[in-house]
Amino acid sequence: MRLFCAVLLLAACAAETPATPAAAPEVSAPGPTGDRCAPTVFQSTRRAAPPDLARAWLSECGRAEAVALTKTLVAFPTISAEQPADGPAFAAMRSYLESWAQGAGLKMETFGKNDAWIVSYGEGAPSVGFVMHADVVPVQEAGQTKSEGLPEGWTVPPFEVTEKDGRLYGRGTEDDKGPIATALVVLKALKAFGYQPQGNLQVIMGTGEEHDWDGMIAYAKQATHPRSVISVDAEFPVVVGESGFVAWKLSWPLVNAGQKKKKGCLEATELKGGQFLTQIPGEAELGFTKINAKLLEAAKVKEEPARSGYRLEVRAHGEAATLKVTGAAVHSSVAEDGKNALWALAGWARHLDLCPGGINDALIVLREVFDGDHYGGKLGLAYEHPTMGKLLVAPTVLRVEGDRVVLSINMRRPEGPSSEAFGVSLDQALIRLKKLSPNLSEVVADRYVGKPHLADTSGPLTATLLEIYREVTGQADAQVLTIRGGTYARLFPGAVSFGPALPHTPYRGHAPDEYLELSALEVMLKTQLEAVLRLDRPAGPVTAK
């Protein structure tokens, strides 16, 4: 996924998940025996060298094989925010992959307590490695309602792949189980048709990218790195730079010390918005125990004209009522593509006489400092890099936690100030915010300022992958790019990202109704095969640093 979550997932996100799939099904070499896609049958009708046989098989049979494997992998609810890497869903997926690898004639190793899985083919020093993650983000926030048995925002079962309109829908199809499936199918085909690797070919899967990077960090420090490391967790053509990840958390006392209750004010008793740090919130709510719902309706009428693309609702239940805003959830690294529900909720609240306290204070700051500004200009943080673009600032989680109101903010920062200098900028922004909201404070322990990552593109890796992409797609003018997200690529010196998202397509990795374009799956099969064939070399392993 295009992010750098590490231990920075600042909101606990529970989601109802189906029962973990039972014992892994039997696995055979590509295609069932007697099928035209079985290697012996396929090979009997043509004479060609192993690489050409693998190309032909992937062209004719690889899509169906990869789709079937994607469907199986998505069925494992490997939500790292809800269970550790050695939890039941991860154990079940590992068991399945072990059986699958054995049936395909490949090896599988486990690092740590399911911290990383490595499926490999060939002997000697690691040559080419595809790096991805096997965990996924939650499908909904704890306490969210369901519609027709589905998590709110979903129109298909999240852990059951639905194939329609040229897409595979389901949690993890794009981020990252579809990419895992294509890489495994490529290795499987190479083995089945007798390709002899010059080194060890690897598919390396971490299990905590969406929550805690510790396992993969340990693996990257201890393992011997392949000469060419390719992340398949971002975009095509080739991603050579990733923004630095920033977590910033602000807090207010729910009740201000010594403050007298304002007569006639509206007392909010519930506030929630956002699912986790790395997702633009698609929903936000403000609740009242006792209120005249007509007041809320009148406020809605005032705010709605300024909120195109949002849905504002008043939900009355007895003497209580709730303001609910529905926007559009997207990954926080592409915040401009979404509709931040916190913005609209704060705007709606401007028309209400809310009682003083942390809820009102937080909504004022959201409204005055964050609403409408993706780039941190109102905070005094804005800057831009000529290649990596602008700093991105996104408030993503708003909660009442005990006696505090907490706002979590995710930023993606390009090359520019050092981490230390950017930290000073945050200190200065906090001083300015306190002038607007004196009761505000920072949760200092949760601050994280990551470094941007730019790969060394002087070697053959970037040029080779770019050439492959141009040949496979016919896009002769394709160029390298940078992204705001972060992937495991940053843990491996010289690594770059290569797919899965095609240019000019929306990223759905963390949103409801996540999907993978079948056209992207086919591009991955072809490009990953060519990457192996052109980069597989026997000498010069890169050792961990």
Divide the 545 residues of the chain into consecutive groups of 10 and give the mean pLDDT of each group. 37 36 40 69 87 95 97 97 94 98 98 96 96 93 64 92 97 96 98 96 96 92 96 95 95 85 85 90 92 86 95 89 93 92 97 94 98 97 93 97 96 95 98 97 96 87 97 96 90 94 85 94 98 83 41
Cα 8–chain centre separation: 13
Same domain, 249 and 237: no
Last residue of a domain, one of 398, 433, 449: 449
Same domain, 407 and 494: no
pLDDT at 275: 81
Domain annotation covers residue 235: yes
pLDDT at 119: 98
Statement: the pTM of the whole predicted model exceeds 0.95: no
Same domain, 384 and 363: yes
The whole-angstrom separation of Cα 138 and Cα 143 is: 13
- 3-state class (DSSP) for residue 519: helix
Residue 53: which H helix or E strand, with range?
A: helix 50-57
How far is the CA of 380 from the CAs of 430, 431, 433, in angstroms?
A: 10, 11, 10
- 3-state class (DSSP) for residue 409: strand
Same domain, 80 and 173: yes
Same domain, 107 and 167: yes
Same domain, 488 and 412: no
Task: Please enumerate in sequence order all residues whose Cβ is within 8 A of that of 44, keeping only pairs 6 or more positions apart, or say none.
Answer: none
* Sign of the dihedral through C-alpha 99, 102, 106, 109: positive
Domain count, the chain: 2
The residue among 140, 172, 207 whose CA lies nearest residue 514 is 172
Same domain, 62 and 126: yes
CB atoms within 10 A of CB 364: 18
Q: Facing residues of 273 across strands?
A: 284, 398
Same domain, 518 and 411: no
Q: What is the DSSP letter of 218?
A: H
Last residue of a domain, one of 395, 427, 449: 449
Same domain, 225 and 266: no
Same domain, 230 and 344: no
Task: Please enumerate in sequence order all residues whose Cβ is within 8 A of that of 499, keeping only pairs 6 or more positions apart, or say none.
Answer: 179, 232, 234, 235, 236, 520, 523, 524, 527
Same domain, 272 and 415: yes
CB atoms within 10 A of CB 456: 12
Domain annotation covers residue 16: no
Domain annotation covers residue 155: yes
Domain annotation covers residue 30: no
Q: What is the CATH number of the domain that holds 118?
A: 3.40.630.10
The whole domain housing 219 covers 36-243+452-537
pLDDT at 30: 44
Q: What is the CATH number of the domain that holds 382?
A: 3.30.70.360
Domain annotation covers residue 216: yes
